[in-house]
């Protein structure tokens, strides 16, 4: 169901500015980014701000938006007369960004010069392209044995590292959550997306490359086009016990195909921005992306304010959308004054994800921070080495892939489970819960001064438990008979402390057994589990 929102405000016209464009062949059409002056509204005019925001998006903004009101001028569409003026030059409009009041075009040099002279055009700049941030190292994986009530198969280790099974065991699988993914496209033929118990649930999708509603394989696509996006989706949504289990397999998904795959991966910022707006408008709770941009940005530009995608992420998080992004795969050093992160990893409230090995050591390729203005990046880690996901073309196969591209959806899945358990948390609350319960901060009380590890490896269960009574065994916000029943069922020695199998969840006092002392703690904490 979609909503028409109405806002009242005043805007002043801004003077235009022009930029010179580099000459090319007269007939060559180039991709350009056009930023426009303030939207031409009369004072105190009431207009339809946005007919694309879902009820769910409105509700998320009501709960977690950090800017005044629910809407502002950034939600308004770009003025149609301006678009017509740009089209009249002969240029083709590629995408539009309401948030940034900007468009991208394909145009010749003559058309670009004509556009630059229009009085409402603030700037004209080339739309750049980038190389991939993922390593694309993959190898076939044979399914192995599983654990606990769910048979995790080959995905067990990467999920156990960040305590995902402990959340699953408590009933948190992503139910009621909407996750947005920006990537290359998504081949959904794998059997892990079609289980009877938990089939993949896509509620909205758009291909911003081909401008249609199909993010799957289409005629003319590069053979590798959907490889990367399929891995990301599989890491989150797969459900095939004994083979592969995704971190948030019961969530709903909004899919945005925003990356062009050619001889080398090409990432285009305008598609990313449009895709993020699409995800936010469709009511997603969080958005995850393993895409990034650096080739045309200098280190000084990664300041949280400059890159196009960074600016869009800043707006998304201000609208209450939790955003996660990969740090990059350029490696790290011991110099805290240098960095190798990529945009939009420098956004102010994005959760920037680095990659670890299964022993929690940092992966050699994982990029380091800080941002140009000295903020901590990356912030958290998960496994990014030989992460197991579905094969992109073999409907029954698995593959292992390395890169911060893969640690990011693992952290995104944990975040979805955290948000399911803690519906009260907005962007700031999610960040705090994840960060302050991660391994290095718990062990040391501070973050990595070299800006390589951030807060360390996350723990989904520790984040969910933060500020809750340890007697709230099922994390439902109450200490009651349900928790007491769980404790009595586990009475006795805590034989196997593995959090995945649940035998020791009720060992509240951590003395190695479930007994009278644990009952006393439940009774003393009876009621709401928050302090």
pLDDT at 495: 67
pLDDT tens, position by position, 9-50: 333 333 334 444 444 555 688 889 999 999 876 433 444 444
Helix axes of 227-237 and 404-421: crossing angle, nearest 10 degrees: 30
pLDDT tens, position by position, 434-482: 999 999 999 999 999 999 999 999 999 999 999 888 888 888 888 998 8
pLDDT at 25: 54
Average pLDDT over residues 479-501: 75
pLDDT tens, position by position, 285-296: 999 999 988 878
Average pLDDT over residues 220-228: 90
pLDDT at 231: 97
> What residues contact residue 510 under an 8 Å CB cut-off, 6+ apart?
none
> What residues contact residue 163 under an 8 Å CB cut-off, 6+ apart?
414, 459, 460, 461, 462, 499
pLDDT at 453: 98
pLDDT tens, position by position, 312-329: 999 999 999 999 999 999
Q: Residue 132 — pLDDT band, cuts 50, 70, 90?
A: low
Q: Residue 298 — pLDDT band, cuts 50, 70, 90?
A: confident
CA–CA gap between residue 153 and residue 26 (Å, rounded): 58
Average pLDDT, the chain: 87
> What residues contact residue 59 under an 8 Å CB cut-off, 6+ apart?
283
pLDDT at 359: 97
pLDDT at 497: 53
Positive/negative CA dihedral, 79, 318, 2, 6: negative
Query: What percentage of the chain carries pLDDT values higher than 90?
Result: 66
The pTM of this model reads 0.90
pLDDT at 136: 58
At which residue do the structure tokens 């040391």 appear?
Answer: 444
Please return the burial class of 125, using the count of CB atoms within 10 Å of its CB with bins 0-12, 13-18 and 19+: middle
Q: Residue 148 — pLDDT band, cuts 50, 70, 90?
A: very low
Helix axes of 427-436 and 404-421: crossing angle, nearest 10 degrees: 110
CA–CA gap between residue 471 and residue 477 (Å, rounded): 10
Average pLDDT over residues 390-397: 95
> What residues contact residue 512 under an 8 Å CB cut-off, 6+ apart?
493, 494
Average pLDDT over residues 163-170: 93
CB 246 within 8 A of CB 239: yes
pLDDT tens, position by position, 179-205: 999 999 999 999 999 999 999 999 999
Q: Does domain 137-465 have CATH number 3.90.1150.10?
A: no
CA–CA gap between residue 142 and residue 148 (Å, rounded): 20
CA–CA gap between residue 188 and residue 216 (Å, rounded): 7
Q: So where are the chain's domains?
A: 5-127, 137-465, 478-528
Looking at the predicted structure, is the pLDDT value of residue 146 above 60?
no
Angle at the Cα of 259 from the Cα atoms of 254 and 263, rounded to 5 degrees: 150
pLDDT at 268: 78
> What residues contact residue 38 under an 8 Å CB cut-off, 6+ apart?
11, 12, 13, 14, 73, 101
């Amino acid at each position: 169901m979609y909503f028409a929102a109405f806002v009242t405000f005043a805007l002043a016209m801004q003077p235009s500015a022009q930029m010179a464009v580099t000459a090319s062949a007269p007939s060559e059409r180039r991709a350009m980014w056009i930023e426009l002056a303030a939207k031409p509204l009369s004072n105190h005019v009431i207009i339809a701000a946005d007919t694309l925001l879902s009820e769910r998006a409105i509700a998320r903004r009501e709960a977690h938006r950090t800017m005044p009101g629910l809407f502002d001028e950034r939600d308004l569409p770009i003025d149609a007369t301006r678009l017509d003026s740009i089209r009249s030059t002969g240029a083709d409009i590629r995408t539009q960004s309401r948030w940034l009041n900007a468009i991208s075009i394909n145009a010749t040099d003559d058309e670009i010069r004509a556009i630059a002279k229009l009085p409402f055009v603030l700037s004209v700049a080339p739309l750049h392209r980038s190389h991939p941030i993922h390593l694309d190292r993959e190898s076939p994986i044979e399914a192995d044995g599983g654990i606990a009530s769910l048979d995790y198969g080959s995905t067990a280790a990467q999920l156990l590292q960040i305590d995902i099974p402990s959340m699953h065991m408590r009933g948190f699988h992503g139910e009621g959550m909407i996750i947005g993914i920006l990537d290359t496209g998504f081949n959904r033929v794998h059997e892990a997306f079609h289980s009877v118990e938990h089939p993949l649930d896509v509620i909205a999708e758009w291909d911003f490359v081909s401008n249609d509603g199909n993010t799957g394989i289409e005629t003319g696509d590069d053979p590798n086009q959907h490889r990367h996006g399929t891995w990301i989706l599989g890491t989150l949504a797969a459900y095939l016990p004994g083979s592969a289990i995704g971190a948030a397999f019961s969530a709903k998904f909004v899919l945005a195909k925003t990356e062009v795959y050619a001889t080398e991966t090409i990432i285009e910022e305008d598609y990313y921005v449009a895709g993020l707006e699409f995800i936010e408008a469709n009511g997603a709770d969080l958005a995850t992306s393993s895409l990034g941009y650096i080739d045309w940005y200098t280190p000084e530009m990664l300041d949280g304010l400059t890159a196009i995608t960074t600016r869009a992420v800043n707006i998304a998080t201000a609208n209450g959308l939790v955003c996660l992004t990969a740090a990059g795969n350029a490696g790290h050093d011991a110099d805290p004054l240098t960095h190798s992160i990529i945009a939009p990893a420098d956004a102010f409230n994005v959760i920037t994800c680095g990659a670890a090995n299964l022993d929690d050591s940092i992966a050699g390729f994982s990029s380091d921070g800080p941002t140009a203005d000295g903020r901590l990046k990356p912030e958290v880690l998960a496994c990014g080495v030989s992460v197991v996901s579905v094969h992109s073309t073999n409907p029954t196969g698995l593959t292992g892939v390395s890169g911060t591209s893969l640690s990011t959806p693992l952290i995104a899945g944990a975040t979805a489970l955290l948000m399911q358990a803690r519906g009260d948390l907005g962007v700031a609350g999610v960040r705090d819960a994840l960060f302050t319960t991660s391994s290095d901060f718990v062990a040391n009380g501070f973050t990595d001064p070299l800006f390589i590890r951030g807060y360390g490896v996350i723990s989904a269960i520790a984040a969910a438990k933060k500020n809750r009574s340890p007697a709230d065994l099922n994390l439902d916000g109450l200490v009651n008979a349900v928790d007491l029943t769980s404790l009595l069922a586990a009475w006795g020695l805590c034989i196997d402390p593995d959090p995945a199998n649940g035998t020791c969840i009720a060992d509240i006092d951590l003395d190695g057994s479930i007994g009278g002392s644990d009952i006393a703690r439940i009774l003393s904490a009876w009621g709401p589990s928050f302090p």
